[in-house]
Amino acid sequence: MTEKVKYIPTIGIECHVQLCTKTKLFSEVDNDARQKSPNSCVSPVDYGLPGMLPRLNKMAVRYAVRAGLALNSEINLQSRFDRKHYFYPDLPKGYQITQLFHPIIGAGYVELPSGSKIRIEHAHLEEDAGKLSHESGDSLVDLNRAGTPLVEIVSMPDIHSAVEAREYTKELWRVMTYAGVTFGDLYNGNMRFDVNISIAPESSDKLGTRAEVKNLNSFRSVERAVEYEIKRQSKLLGKGEKVVQETRGWSDATGETTSQRSKEEAQDYRYMPEPDIPPLNLRPEVVDEERANLPIMPAEYRAKFNDILGSDTVEILLDYRPLMEKLAELDDNKAAKKIANLFSSVLLAEENASLLNDELPSKEQLLDLVAMNEKNELSSTGMKEVFLKFFDPEMHYKDTLTIAKELGVVQENNLEELEKIVDAVLAKPETQQAQADFKAGQEKVIGFLVGQVMKESHGKANPSAVQDILRKKLQ
């Protein structure tokens, strides 16, 4: 009987991130082609017309530096551009300007929610090509995307399962959007993933032959494509056949990868130094400035809040960056816990989804809300009511106490006042029976008496204080 061989998958991922600069990487035309007609954001540089001269976009370089810092990478103060030649209808120049030998971003890592680290080999700056669409037998070229700045992030083969591949791509998306270098619109291809997958028997110390699945644009399709490839390659090896090194395409509809072409080698592209762009020499101050301005990254939020809020809550809230920023702004762990609870129970409730587009309450409003709750001036229900009013256009500019008073939800804590109300209730004929029952040992009638006091106070009494007073008086 033959024993089933266990295969270990090894996965590396390349990700193209479109930078959200105002203009293109080498020309001054609009880089944001959303809602614009095809071929309306194109300059002679992007067409590759004779005599054109590319000029490097400073902001794109800044964004690349910022992306590199978000990847915990070394920033190379000196980098260079190369020409990568190939023919395709969406690339009129016949070559792509990219960085092969001297990329701007060196080795770094991405930390996953689980805490494991996926190393980054390097990342480089390059231009995007145009887009082809195939309609009823015709192929149409749109060059609006030609020349859009990209950062291509190349991971080390540190990923070993389909789930981990999905987690890595999701985290990469979070890191890039938190860094503010991309719109991160996956549906429109702002981030695209190429996944290299090989498998090898557990006992082997050599990696297997890899297949590359190109142009995946969702976390889910990354996971599914990897699952499919692991199965396909295991089957081949199980039959004693070989995995071919090649580029494969993915279909969301069929859930399968299909062979597209055999894998090119670097020499096929006739790389050469780009003669139109001088070497890029960064001033160290540029890196320092970007480092100082780098927003708080997801891993930092986890380190700060996982113990306080629990990692499940943190992962949910990380999908809503302004909420995370607000919690950090409070700069008070105890308050953050209560406010995070309001965020997830009230703001993320389906019926309040529209409020997420509104301006969030101020730090002062939220801290006052927590303080009033701590002082028993607001019950947790009262807290929710006031919190919702922060989003009311008529109310949002008012301070917490004013809103609470207008809503009539401030709790009465003045013991003398409360005692007066309790006395009034105990004097009423309709509470006599309950008082007698309580004295006779019927513990649960205390609830009825508290309820009577609450009614008498029009809901403003602090129920736990009321209960204390009642017990004292009825002993």
Identify which of residues 126 and 368 has a Cβ nearer to Mn ion in the complex: 126
Which of 70, 56, 4, 53 is closest to 25 using CA atoms?
56
The residue whose Cβ lies closest to Mn ion is 152
Q: Which residues of 350-374 are buried (b: 16+ CB within 10 A; e: fewer)?
A: eeeeebeeeebbbeebbbbbbebbe
* One-letter amino acid of 177: T
Shortest separation between residue 264's beta carbon and Mn ion, angstroms: 12
Piece of the chain touching Mn ion by CB under 5 A; list 67-75, 81-89, 147-155, 414-422: 147-155
Distance CA(208)–CA(185), nearest Å, equals: 34
Identify which of residues 99 and 452 has a Cβ nearer to Mn ion in the complex: 99
Identify which of residues 148 and 198 has a Cβ nearer to Mn ion in the complex: 148
Shortest separation between residue 128's beta carbon and Mn ion, angstroms: 9
Identify which of residues 82 and 111 has a Cβ nearer to Mn ion in the complex: 82
β-bridge mates for residue 155, sequence order: 120
Backbone angles phi, psi at 198, to 5 degrees: -135, 160
Q: Report the 10 Å Cβ neighbour count for 30.
A: 16
- Binding residues for Mn ion, rule CB under 5 A, total 1
Shortest separation between residue 16's beta carbon and Mn ion, angstroms: 6
Identify which of residues 152 and 227 has a Cβ nearer to Mn ion in the complex: 152
Q: Is the torsion defined by CA of 173, 174, 180, 186 positive or negative?
A: positive
Identify which of residues 100 and 328 has a Cβ nearer to Mn ion in the complex: 100
> The tokens of 123 are what?
């990342």
Piece of the chain touching Mn ion by CB under 5 A; list 25-33, 144-152, 181-189, 212-220: 144-152
Piece of the chain touching Mn ion by CB under 5 A; list 35-43, 148-156, 309-317, 407-415: 148-156
Shortest separation between residue 156's beta carbon and Mn ion, angstroms: 17
State the pairing for strand pair 272-273/82-85: antiparallel
Binding mask 98-137 for Mn ion (x = CB under 5 A): ----------------------------------------
Residue pair 162/156 in contact (Cβ under 8 Å)? The answer is no
DSSP string over 17-71: EE---SB-SSSSSBS--TT--TTSS--HHHHT-TT------HHHHHHHHHHHHHT
Shortest separation between residue 339's beta carbon and Mn ion, angstroms: 42
Identify which of residues 152 and 377 has a Cβ nearer to Mn ion in the complex: 152
Identify which of residues 82 and 152 has a Cβ nearer to Mn ion in the complex: 152
Please, which of residues 353-382 interact with Mn ion by CB under 5 A? none
**Residue of 46, 82, 128, 152 that binds Mn ion (CB under 5 A):** 152
Piece of the chain touching Mn ion by CB under 5 A; list 151-159, 184-192, 207-215, 435-443: 151-159
Shortest separation between residue 373's beta carbon and Mn ion, angstroms: 53
Distance CA(403)–CA(406), nearest Å, equals: 5
Q: Is the torsion defined by CA of 217, 218, 219, 220 positive or negative?
A: negative
Please, which of residues 27-56 interact with Mn ion by CB under 5 A? none
Distance CA(178)–CA(297), nearest Å, equals: 6
Cα–Cα distances (Å) from 323 to 27, 315, 356, 387, 401, in that order, read 37, 12, 9, 14, 23
Identify which of residues 54 and 298 has a Cβ nearer to Mn ion in the complex: 54
Shortest separation between residue 305's beta carbon and Mn ion, angstroms: 35
Shortest separation between residue 263's beta carbon and Mn ion, angstroms: 14
Helix axes of 445-456 and 463-474: crossing angle, nearest 10 degrees:
120
Shortest separation between residue 14's beta carbon and Mn ion, angstroms: 7
- Binding-site ranges for Mn ion (CB under 5 A): 152
